[in-house]
């Protein structure tokens, strides 16, 4: 199978088009379902109360501030109209983990971490923002680190096989 990536600036943001041969329709449908199940979107509001959808991949973290749930992307901050509990349920199987009582982060944007005193962890995102995880959620962070190490080890093994 050959996969080709091609940018088109005339397309809408958040739009991806899968072009396929008629005999590959089943594969294309499965790929679409896989992408939709893993990626997902969330409806957000900007400061002018405009509503729109953003891909969950663009979300760095969610945080509760004064009983309002905020969405942080690389450059923007939005709000969502749902409870933190509902949000947690929505994103829990899409690469997000809760790291303290008011913050859920996107694992894909974790750049590095540091162990601190008292079972705390400093998580540094790829936009260099730092977020502290507390002792109550240390297992979530540790499980994420195990998954990330497993992925890194798999990539090393695949690179070694490809170089043979």
Domains in the chain: boundaries: 22-34+42-163
**pTM of the complete model:** 0.72
C-alpha triplet 7, 42, 79: angle, nearest 5°: 115
Could you tell me if 43 and 51 are in contact, meaning their C-beta atoms sit under 8 angstroms apart? yes
**Distance from CA of residue 86 to its chain's centroid?**
17
Neighbours of 110 (CB within 10 A): 21
CA distance linking residue 39 with residue 43, whole number of Å: 14
Roughly how many angstroms between the first and final C-alpha of the chain, as a whole number?
Answer: 22
Which class in CATH covers the domain with range 22-34+42-163? mainly beta
Element (H, E) at 64: strand 61-65
Using alpha carbons, select from 38, 35, 2 the residue that is nearest to residue 16: 35
Query: Each residue's pLDDT tens digit in the chain (164 positions)?
Result: 788 888 898 987 667 888 999 999 999 888 888 877 667 889 999 999 999 889 898 999 999 999 999 999 999 999 999 999 999 999 988 889 999 999 999 998 998 888 888 778 899 999 999 999 988 998 888 888 887 776 555 444 455 555 55
Neighbours of 14 (CB within 10 A): 13
Tokens standing for residue 162 = 């490809």
Helix (H, G, I), strand (E, B) or coil at 125: strand
Element (H, E) at 54: strand 51-55
Classify residue 45 as exposed, middle or buried by CB count within 10 Å of its CB (0-12, 13-18, 19+): middle
pLDDT value of residue 151: 55
pLDDT value of residue 154: 45
pLDDT value of residue 83: 95
pLDDT value of residue 162: 57
Q: Hunting for tokens 């050959």 — which residue is that?
A: 2
């Amino acid at each position: 199978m050959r996969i080709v990536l091609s940018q088109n600036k005339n397309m809408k943001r958040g739009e991806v088009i899968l072009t396929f041969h008629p005999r590959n329709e089943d594969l294309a449908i499965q790929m679409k379902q896989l992408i939709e199940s893993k990626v997902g979107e969330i409806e957000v509001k900007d400061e002018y109360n405009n509503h729109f959808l953003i891909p969950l991949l663009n979300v760095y973290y969610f945080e509760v501030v004064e009983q309002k749930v905020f969405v942080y992307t690389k450059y923007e901050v939005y709000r969502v109209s749902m409870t933190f509990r509902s949000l947690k349920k929505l994103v829990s199987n899409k690469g997000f983990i809760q790291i303290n009582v008011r913050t859920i982060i996107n694992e894909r944007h974790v750049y590095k971490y540091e162990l601190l005193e008292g079972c705390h962890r400093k998580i540094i995102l790829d936009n260099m923002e730092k977020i502290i995880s507390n002792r109550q959620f240390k297992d979530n962070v540790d499980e994420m680190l195990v998954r990330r190490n497993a992925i890194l080890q798999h990539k090393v093994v695949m690179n070694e096989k490809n170089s043979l």
